[in-house]
Structure 1
């Protein structure tokens, strides 16, 4: 029998907050057809399904970083061109199922990590040269990323059919 690591209060708080913002995003896309989920109803190229796909990919990438640093993070190639849109064969249902699987995996990984473990960030113009992030900082980043994109999704949904997530 495998024993699951016990979450600390801090880990529980961070994962609960992340789950809350994931819930906002999932609520915003409920009841949409695949056609609606792939629509880009604003001046941007963002779609609701594309946002679900993006936050899932970002979460997967940053959790690889939390476990094994930049090398593990970059071990999976990102499809930047299609990362924000639904491509043929993708459905909103499958994107949400993948996102849920990622959420479960994140919870399992965090339970086994020390929040103070830090790794140097990948070399990129948007990162401070030589900086490192702790697992804690990764989770805070995922909360911010998910929250920001849940807000984008709310605007897209309201533009699409008038539904509002909050109010």
Structure 2
């Protein structure tokens, strides 16, 4: 998710898939991006995540204008004609990461019973 959004900051909607043309089979293929596949290891996935985060950090440091905007791609979940600034995109990445980390924490708590927030 982070990689695609950073590409969006640089290249605009062309960096994203054409969501309006996606069929069920395309969404099924995308589902593979959310699971550990044969041949992948936890170490390789974590290394890739770290590399993506490093690239994001470099972009933030080098970006001349956090208020530069790109039009959002056509998708059922985006309002037509809306533009997001680099700042909005990065906030979206942070919010998505936090939300999914919370989901993972709920699952972990249901497995081991340990509470981290009280």
Equivalent pairs counted in the alignment come to 109
* 1:1-167 → structure 2 map (5 Å cutoff): 58-74=1-17, 79-113=29-63, 114-167=65-118
Q: CA-atom RMSD, angstroms?
A: 2.0
- What TM-score results when the alignment is normalised by the length of structure 2? 0.83
- Contact 1:70 1:120 (8 Å CA) reproduced: yes
For residues 61-108 of structure 1, give each alpha carbon's deviation from its aligned partner in whole angstroms, at most 9, with x where no partner exists: 000001110112349x98412122111112222111111111110010
Large movers: runs of 4+ above 4 Å: none
- Contact 1:65 1:72 (8 Å CA) reproduced: yes
- Contact 1:157 1:164 (8 Å CA) reproduced: no
Q: 1:164 to 1:105 in 2, by over 3 A?
A: farther
- What secondary structure does 2:84 align onto? strand
- What TM-score results when the alignment is normalised by the length of structure 1? 0.60
> Relative to total residues, which structure has the larger helix share, 1 or 2?
2
Uncovered stretches (5+) of structure 2, i.e. residues with no partner: 19-25
